């Protein structure tokens, strides 16, 4: 399919005719040679000398060439282009923040694999998270780790392979032995400040009670609700333990309820997989669709043809002048 980027340029097509009709003719004074035997030459030629001006005329080929060149130049100025087939691009309209507790209690080996073998909590979480991340095709994701302090392990990215690489580098205790749950949620909210999408989802996984936050989880969840951030919480610890090893299920429930999310408890790898599947079903991926048609400029074609016509016209005029001179 062909189109023109500037079709209004075709209004210039009658411009030469308008100039020819309105503008005064060009006058030029030339130097003549006076010879004493001019009348004899005129008589010999059989013409009657008269005073006046000479109007030069163009050959039909010259006029046609000039008109064709003008049409080709206007055609090039209109910027003809070929439109390709429509290309549809899908862009995710959802950003996801994963907040992972790596406090000292995540070193406990109380998770069970499919075969029933004991497994470290963090390693079990990593395995399930990797699968969850790999299925987020098109989403932007960020990873926050928290212990005594909360840190951004990976900012928002669409490169999910690199996100899994950052997850592999995460080890128990590298952010401190305690649990700063409220600070982790607050850091996630600040991470969303660079987000321009409507669907903002935060998944917080913790196995302990908040013991070292400067911002309480209640306050952090209230701010998250104001910022339209939906928080899903997952408890993976032992609710019957004591001290920092006891997971505060009520706090996780309150955080989810305040932000419009949901709370889950997972005590083994299978339950954790089901939890992430449930979260995915509750929040289907939103997609922004954009389409465009690639354009290929064809303006060089009329310009090339106009150049060829100019060269041919000049060559023909040169040879015709030489032929007249020889005659």
DSSP one-letter code for 106: G
Same domain assignment for residues 269 and 161:
yes
pLDDT tens digits along 232-271: 999 887 777 666 667 778 888 999 999 999 999 887 778 8
Tens digit of pLDDT at every position of the chain (327 positions): 778 888 899 998 998 888 888 887 777 776 767 777 777 777 777 777 666 656 666 677 778 888 899 999 999 999 888 887 777 666 666 788 999 999 888 888 877 766 777 888 888 888 888 888 888 777 788 999 998 999 999 998 888 888 888 888 898 888 888 889 899 999 999 999 888 777 888 999 988 778 888 888 889 999 999 998 999 999 887 777 666 667 778 888 999 999 999 999 887 778 888 888 888 777 766 655 666 678 888 888 989 999 998 888 888 877 776 665 554
Same domain, 100 and 30: no
pTM given for the model = 0.62
Range of the domain at 300: 2-85+296-326
Which contacts of 192-195 are long-range, i.e. CB under 8 A and separated by 24 or more positions?
192/95, 192/97, 192/227, 192/229, 194/156, 195/95, 195/140, 195/156
CATH of the domain at 210: 3.40.50.410
Does one domain contain both 233 and 300? no
Query: Distance (Å, rounded) from C-alpha 5 to C-alpha 179?
Result: 61
Judgement on whether residues 149 and 118 belong to the same structural domain of the protein: yes
The domain tally of the chain equals 2
Cα-only R_g, the chain:
41
């Amino acid at each position: 399919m062909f189109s023109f980027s500037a079709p209004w340029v075709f209004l210039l097509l009658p411009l030469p005719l308008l100039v020819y009709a309105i503008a005064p003719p060009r006058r030029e004074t030339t130097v003549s040679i006076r010879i004493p035997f001019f009348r004899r030459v005129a008589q010999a030629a059989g013409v009657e000398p008269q005073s006046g001006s000479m109007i030069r005329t163009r050959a039909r080929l010259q006029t046609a060439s000039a008109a064709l060149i003008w049409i080709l130049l206007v055609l090039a100025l209109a910027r003809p282009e070929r439109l390709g087939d429509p290309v549809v691009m899908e862009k995710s309209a959802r950003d996801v923040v994963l907040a992972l507790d790596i406090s000292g209690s995540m070193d406990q080996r109380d998770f069970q694999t499919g075969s029933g073998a004991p497994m470290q909590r963090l390693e079990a979480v990593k395995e399930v998270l990797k699968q969850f991340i790999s299925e987020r095709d098109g989403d932007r994701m960020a990873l926050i780790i928290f212990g005594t302090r909360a840190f951004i392990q990976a900012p928002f990215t669409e490169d999910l392979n690199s996100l899994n690489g950052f997850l592999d580098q995460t080890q128990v205790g590298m952010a401190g032995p305690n649990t700063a749950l409220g600070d982790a949620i607050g850091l996630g909210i600040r991470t969303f400040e660079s987000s321009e999408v409507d669907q903002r989802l935060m998944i917080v996984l913790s196995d302990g009670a908040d013991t070292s936050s400067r911002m309480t989880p209640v306050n952090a969840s209230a701010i998250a609700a104001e910022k339209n951030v939906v928080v899903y919480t997952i408890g993976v610890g032992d609710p019957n333990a004591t001290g920092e090893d006891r997971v505060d299920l009520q706090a996780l429930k309150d955080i989810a309820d305040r932000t419009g999310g949901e709370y889950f408890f997972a005590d083994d790898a299978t339950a954790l997989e089901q939890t992430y599947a449930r979260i995915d079903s509750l929040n289907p991926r939103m997609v922004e669709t954009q389409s465009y048609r690639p354009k290929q400029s064809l303006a060089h074609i009329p310009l090339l043809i106009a150049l060829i016509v100019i060269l041919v016209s000049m060559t023909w005029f040169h040879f015709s002048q030489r032929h007249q001179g020889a005659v």
